[in-house]
Amino acid sequence: MEQNIEYIFAGSSFLILSGLAAAALFFAMAGLREVRESCQEGLLYLALSLFFALAHIFLLFNTTSANCISHAVAQPDFWGWLISLLAPALIVLFLGFGLFSFLTARFREALVKTFFGLTLACYLYMLGSHWPVDVRGILILIWCGTWFDLELKTAQ
């Protein structure tokens, strides 16, 4: 029974790790936005962000060797983590918020967010698949800062 459960969770650990990273980013952005507006709920969002980040780190360092994600992040370095786990989470956040903006009839915001999400996916997985790891990592950091900047400015 334990081997079956381990096999099920080994296949989905990439989704869980990326989801935890996306949740940590989302709650950090929401917390910063609320703290800037002097709302006390921002501290709760920042605490949730810390919880998801710690859960992500705990799961990342406690994956088994048979796990598919542990091969991609065998030696968990910063650049490998950025490319394999944070980039998909960031792309999903850009596209998800872009879709939400389309549904709420904020078309300019939606186009900008969708554009940034699709260009990051294109740069990392189509055009830049053979680029050096640090160049792709820096690109992800720039896009992460852009995501925070866009979300903090469009919330006003």
- The pLDDT of 138-146, averaged and rounded, is 92
**Taking all residues of the chain, what is their mean pLDDT, rounded to a whole number?**
83
Measured distance CA(70)–CA(19) in Å, rounded: 16
Q: pTM (2 decimals)?
A: 0.82
In this structure, are 60 and 86 located in the same domain? no
pLDDT (tens digit per residue) in 107-130: 998 999 999 999 999 998 888 878
Is pLDDT of 1 > 70?
no
In this structure, are 70 and 83 located in the same domain? no
Maximum pairwise Cα distance, the chain = 51
pLDDT (tens digit per residue) in 57-83: 888 888 765 555 555 555 567 888 888
In this structure, are 63 and 86 located in the same domain? no
Look up residue 66 and give its amino acid: A
In this structure, are 86 and 107 located in the same domain? yes
Query: How many domains does one find in the chain?
Result: 2
Residue 107: domain span: 77-156
Helix axes of 133-154 and 2-36: crossing angle, nearest 10 degrees: 50
Measured distance CA(141)–CA(147) in Å, rounded: 10
In this structure, are 81 and 70 located in the same domain? no
Domain boundary among 53, 74, 95: 74
In this structure, are 3 and 70 located in the same domain? yes
Measured distance CA(52)–CA(147) in Å, rounded: 19
Instruction: Give the pLDDT confidence score for residue 2 in this predicted structure.
Output: 43
- Neighbouring C-alpha atoms within 13 Å toward the C-beta of 50: 8
